[in-house]
Amino acid sequence: MSTGQFHFRSRMRRVTDVAVTSLAILATLIVVAPLVAIFGYLLYKGTASLNLAFFTHVPAPPGELGGGMANAILGSAILLMLASAIGIPVGIGGGIFLAEFGRGSKLANAVRFTADVLNGVPSIVMGVAVYGLIVSQQHSFIPFSGHFSAFSGGVALGIMMIPTVCRTTEEMLLMVPHAVREAALGLGVPNWRSVLSITVRTASPGIITGCMLAFARVAGETAPLIFTALGNQFWSTSLKDPIAALPLQIWVYALSPYDDWHRLAWAGALVLIVLIVMAVSLVRFVTSRGVLKGTS
């Protein structure tokens, strides 16, 4: 090869390097931009209506100024606790079955397929389904059935959490090295004990991430609550009555004809995002405190 050719090739390589690096940086910016834009716009629109009353008062009657979303914040917290109480244990249990006890079996394949389909079910359909099952008719074996209730809302959100939790749990368990399982079996630990105390524990950071993803996703869901929790203008903490939720309240206020309510809707959206970020960070902080030096 002549020196001229060599110089040409080396220049081409540098040009390609710069081009590919620039594309990667551009793609990164495009990924980050929507989040920054949304959050910035929410701060701009929402902070003006944020005051103490927002966190302490229930909504004002139509036509009156002021009021807050205290009941919706509490309602969302109750709905999400109920949803997590249903979605996390069922999801983790299903994931453990898929990865450990049922691996390769027909039942496991069927469960995995079902979870994937469930993950793709539109959230409004989930709301209608729970409406049909729990809200529209009274069953002796389902508590608080036959009417709109916080319970039915929590159930709808909980079912939506199951597939995400289940599949991430499975993936995380499959990533635990075979050597770690063998080490436990080699000590004479029964298989079920090894799965629960060693494999699941080793995979727990990833499993917690999956639970947080599912939590954050349903925290902002409006559609499943329209037919179930319904919303509530007043204080309510009872599982048997309709309950307010931040996304529902935002939806109602944003569609209203009043400027004051529009402002409150912006503030509500800001508070919803901040609360989700805080809840996820809190869980991360609490669960990372027990982690030892050198654990990776």
Partner 1 sequence: MGVGIEVQNLNAWYGNNHTLQDINLNIPANHATALIGPSGCGKSTFVRCLNRMHETNPIARVTGVVRIGELDIYSDAKPVEIRRRVGMVFQRPNPFPTMSIYDNVAAGLKLNGYSNKRSLDEIVERSLRNSALWEEVKDDLRKKSGASLSGGQQQRLCIARALAVDPEVLLMDEPASALDPVSTSKIEDLIFQLKSQYTIVIVTHNMQQAARVAEKTGFFLNGRMVEFDSTHKIFTNPSDKRTEDYITGRFG
**Cα distance between residue 205 and residue 147, in whole Å:** 39
Whether the Cβ atoms of residue 219 and residue 49 lie closer than 8 Å to each other: no
The upper half-sphere exposure of residue 29, i.e. CA atoms within 13 Å in the direction of its Cβ, equals 6
Contacts of 54 (CB under 8 A, 6+ apart): 68, 69, 70, 264, 267, 271
Number of residues in contact with partner 1, rule: CB under 8 A? Answer: 25
What is the Cα gyration radius of the chain? 25
Contact pattern for partner 1 over residues 254 through 293, marking x by CB under 8 A: -------------------------------------xxx
Which CB atom, from 129 or from 180, has the smaller least distance to partner 1?
A: 180
Contacts of 265 (CB under 8 A, 6+ apart): 249, 250, 253, 254
Interacting span for partner 1 (CB under 8 A) from 25-33, 163-171, 196-204, 207-215: 196-204
Q: How far is the CB of 291 from partner 1 (least distance, A)?
A: 8
Interacting span for partner 1 (CB under 8 A) from 114-122, 197-205, 257-265, 266-274: 197-205
Interacting span for partner 1 (CB under 8 A) from 52-60, 105-113, 166-174, 188-196: 188-196
* Tokens, residue 66: 């002021």
Which of 114, 119, 136, 204 forms a contact with partner 1 (CB under 8 A)?
Answer: 204
Which CB atom, from 40 or from 186, has the smaller least distance to partner 1?
A: 186
Number of Cβ within a 10 Å radius of residue 119: 14
Which of 186, 235, 281, 282 forms a contact with partner 1 (CB under 8 A)?
Answer: 186
Does residue 143 belong to the site contacting partner 1 (CB under 8 A)? no
Whether the Cβ atoms of residue 58 and residue 68 lie closer than 8 Å to each other: yes
Residues that bind partner 1 (CB under 8 A): 177, 179-180, 182-190, 193-194, 197-198, 201-202, 204, 291-296
